[in-house]
Structure 1
């Protein structure tokens, strides 16, 4: 065995990278399927993307980075379904560690804009808000609602009090 054969014997060739095809949910899902999976309409997601895309690293084409739109839908899917990061990554075609970084990055980008979306009614608006909630379902004293969060309350009085019992057994 000559010197070159000896060296080649011990030099390993680098492993080939396995690049996954990434699913584009805008192309692969109808509007209804998209909303079922991400709890947003496509146009709403594009509007949100316009607000935060400058905060999402895109990198170069050379390193097969995750485009901002896929970062956003991965995060929205994680919010909507509450699955493990690996599950959300598998839907889009990224691994768990990438899904973790993406979810953290997108969450931070959205949270920095909280003042645009979250506000408590001013003193002038409080009575107006209470009035509108009472008109919706005869539910007095309500100042706001949080989607999908059940906050325990005392049993409302009256004939309809039992209607406010949730699936977990409390009001």
Structure 2
């Protein structure tokens, strides 16, 4: 006879509830850091050096693609349409994501 044959359903449910309770209390709090708004942080010269475009052009491009890039919710590490566009333009301008200027 197996040990699970002797347990009734309520004992199994109680054990599952206790297991869930113990696991929830041991979880670390999720830390969400705010993302830097590069569109506002860079001056026009730095913006052009990194993306090879002026800010007005990027605003117009965002106007054209915003509906296709915007998600319905802001869950699961949401990336704004502006940041998606800046990442795409950065990669298109240089072929890499990082900027290693000193």
TM bracket (short chain): 0.5 to 0.7
Look up the SS of the partner of 2:79 in the other structure.
coil
Deviations 1:109-158 (A, max 9, x none): xxxxxxxxxxxxxxxxxxxxxxxxxxxxxxxxxxxxxxxxxxxxxxxxxx
Counterpart pick for 1:11 among 16, 19, 22: 22
- Pick the structure with more helix per residue: 2
Q: Equivalent residue for 1:130?
A: none
Counterpart pick for 2:67 among 54, 67, 81: 54
Q: How far did 1:25 drift? A: 1.4
CA distance in 1, matches of 2:65, 2:59: 10
- In 2 relative to 1, CA 27–15 (structure 1 residues): closer, same or farther, beyond 3 Å? same
CA distance in 2, matches of 1:41, 1:67: 19
For the aligned residue pairs, the C-alpha RMSD in angstroms reads 2.7
CA distance in 1, matches of 2:87, 2:50: 10
Gaps of 5+ in 2: 1-13
- The number of residue pairs the alignment matches comes to 82
CA distance in 1, matches of 2:74, 2:21: 33
Q: Equivalent residue for 1:39?
A: 52
Mapped contact 1:49–1:69 kept (Cα < 8 A): yes
Output the TM-score relative to the length of structure 1. Answer: 0.41
CA distance in 1, matches of 2:63, 2:20: 53
Mapped contact 1:59–1:65 kept (Cα < 8 A): no
- In 2 relative to 1, CA 18–81 (structure 1 residues): closer, same or farther, beyond 3 Å? farther
Q: How far did 1:22 drift? A: 1.0
1:67 partnered with 2:67: no
Gaps of 5+ in 1: 89-171
